[in-house]
Amino acid sequence: MSDEVGSLIGEFIQGESEPPSSWVFLVLGFVSTIIFLILYGILFPNSDLPVISTVLPVFDGVFDSGIWFFILGAMIGVFAILGTMLTEATSE
């Protein structure tokens, strides 16, 4: 009895690829974002985006130095390695 349950759980957890419905949601989210930005630009032509326009001035002086691009590249590399390790560890 327990062997049957273990094999059923193993078949349920292990997947071959991403479900097709997730691509639909990703595309719908991307398209709706683009549509929102276009409509906002049409309805309010001379105004900035509410949240983005207040946050962007904070980062004006951050990227003046080249060291930030090195730090950003190192962070992306570390997160890529960690993501690959976690994906490989949980795929079995």
pLDDT attached to residue 31: 92
Q: Among positive and negative, which fits the CA dihedral 12, 17, 22, 26? A: positive
The residue type found at 67 is: I
Q: List, for residues 55-89, the tens digit of each pLDDT value.
A: 777 667 766 777 777 888 899 889 988 888 888 77
pLDDT attached to residue 12: 55
Query: What are the E-state strand segments in 16-55?
Result: none
Residue pair 63/69 in contact (Cβ under 8 Å)? The answer is yes
pTM over 0.85: no
